[in-house]
Structure 1
Amino acid sequence: MNKNPSIVVFDIGNVLLRWDMHFLYESYFKTRKDAQAFIDETGLEAWNLEQDRGRNWEDAEAELVPRFPQYEKEIRAFRKQWHHMAPGVIAGTVLIKERLAALNTPLYAITNFAADTFAESQERFPTLKSFIDIVVSADEEVVKPDPAIYQVLLERNNLEAADCLFIDDSEKNVIGARAVGMHAHHFKSPYLLAEDLRRYGFDV
């Protein structure tokens, strides 16, 4: 793949928007270790992924609460107080995105996200609205790194994979993007992202 990309495709969570279950659950448990034990015991990450795949919250809670009734309050807090898990944007990445926009770079997004919490996040943080197209996993009922979710973006917008640089904090999602022919950047910091973008020829 020798051709430099001309299109940038962002992930949202932990690339543009800070997100961590611990931001909420540090208020419910004595230590981070205790909070992580709860997350692990209940399988909360896999449970949440099903909402990203399109399951509604009522069904999700009806599935998990009866299995862990001792944690009913904490489980129901996940949706009720979800906004505390996403307290703000990652400013450096937002500024890079704004510089790309000023260069007339076509900007898109692919995100694993529940439909309602993503809509809420867009209202709280308007930068999450400013893309040509956003593929939200819950709307498509498929999550990264399934090749189908990348193909939704490409086919819906008549894009060539080799023209796209995909940015994601998850290594497996980066591998998934490369598997369909995209360039990809494993996001760890705005510093490294800006450096890699310049290497690809974006004048940020």
Structure 2
Amino acid sequence: MASGRPIRNIIFDMGNVLMTFDGPRFAGLFTDTPEDAELLDGALFGTTMWSLLDSGTISHETMRRYALAHLPERLHPNLNECFDHWPEHSEPIAATNELGIRLKREGYGIYVLSNANTRIMDQLGHAPVTPYLDGCVVSAKERIMKPDPAIFRLLCLRYRLDPAECLFVDDNADNCEGARAAGMHAFHYQDNIAELEANVRLLS
């Protein structure tokens, strides 16, 4: 349980907090019909294997082979293009990036903690806040995933943070509960940027 001490660090999730992640949209960019987009999304982003990629359990090439095996052969070129280039179509979420930069300039520590694969910088590298980050922890590299409190504790240990002085921001409520179990404050982000900033000010 977080204490009443002022927060000094803001820890952002990446997907749908700092950068968009929309599998059906990505699949649609690399196919010609809604039906083919649905097939591609289901074989790649919409499968439980994607979570194994984010957990570091399987490699990118294993993920690719699995997706190819679950698609008609005519869609194999589409899959390969999508697999290699979808991060280029992940867009920065302006409100949270702007808030992160502003808070960094005010003296807060700014971090990312994401369930993501080892190619995270192909996506996060487009976020305006990235040059301002004080640290980043990625599930695939650590072999631990949110909402396990262990990954929050790992971030604090690595960057010498007091969890009671941290606010974690995620679009997944279960991940917020994992952060609270590790002793952090947490905010469930649902495009409610004004409420997020108010929460930062309230806890500071």
Give TM class, smaller chain.
Answer: 0.7 to 0.9
Segment drifting more, 153-162 vs 63-72: 63-72
Segment drifting more, 107-116 vs 22-31: 22-31
Closer/same/farther in 2, CA of residues 164 and 46 from structure 1, 3 Å limit: same
Cα deviation per residue 1:50-101 (whole Å; 9 max; x = unaligned)?
2212232111122332243455345434422212540x21111111111111
Segment drifting more, 21-30 vs 50-59: 21-30
Counterpart among 169, 172, 188 of residue 170 in structure 1: 172
SS, match of residue 69 in structure 2 = helix
1:115 and 2:122 are equivalent in the alignment: no
Taking the aligned partners of 2:21 and 2:49, their CA distance within structure 1 comes to 16
Quote the residue 1:91 is aligned against. Answer: 94
Counterpart among 76, 89, 97 of residue 80 in structure 2: 76
Closer/same/farther in 2, CA of residues 187 and 35 from structure 1, 3 Å limit: same
Taking the aligned partners of 1:191 and 1:63, their CA distance within structure 2 comes to 42
Quote the residue 1:60 is aligned against. Answer: 63
Closer/same/farther in 2, CA of residues 148 and 75 from structure 1, 3 Å limit: farther
Quote the residue 1:193 is aligned against. Answer: 196
Segment drifting more, 72-81 vs 179-188: 72-81
SS, match of residue 9 in structure 1 = strand
Quote the residue 1:158 is aligned against. Answer: 160
Identity of aligned residues (%): 27
Give, in angstroms, the shift of residue 35 of structure 1.
4.3
TM-score by length of 2: 0.84
Closer/same/farther in 2, CA of residues 6 and 122 from structure 1, 3 Å limit: same
Quote the residue 2:52 is aligned against. Answer: 50
Taking the aligned partners of 2:53 and 2:117, their CA distance within structure 1 comes to 5
Cα deviation per residue 1:2-48 (whole Å; 9 max; x = unaligned)?
413221111111111122112222332644x8745764576734222
Structure 1 stretches of 5 or more lacking a match?
A: none
SS, match of residue 185 in structure 1 = strand
SS, match of residue 168 in structure 2 = strand
Cα deviation per residue 1:141-188 (whole Å; 9 max; x = unaligned)?
222112221121011122221111100111111111111111000011
SS, match of residue 111 in structure 2 = strand
Counterpart among 100, 108, 131 of residue 105 in structure 1: 108
User: Which amino acid in structure 2 is aligned with residue 82 of structure 1?
Assistant: W
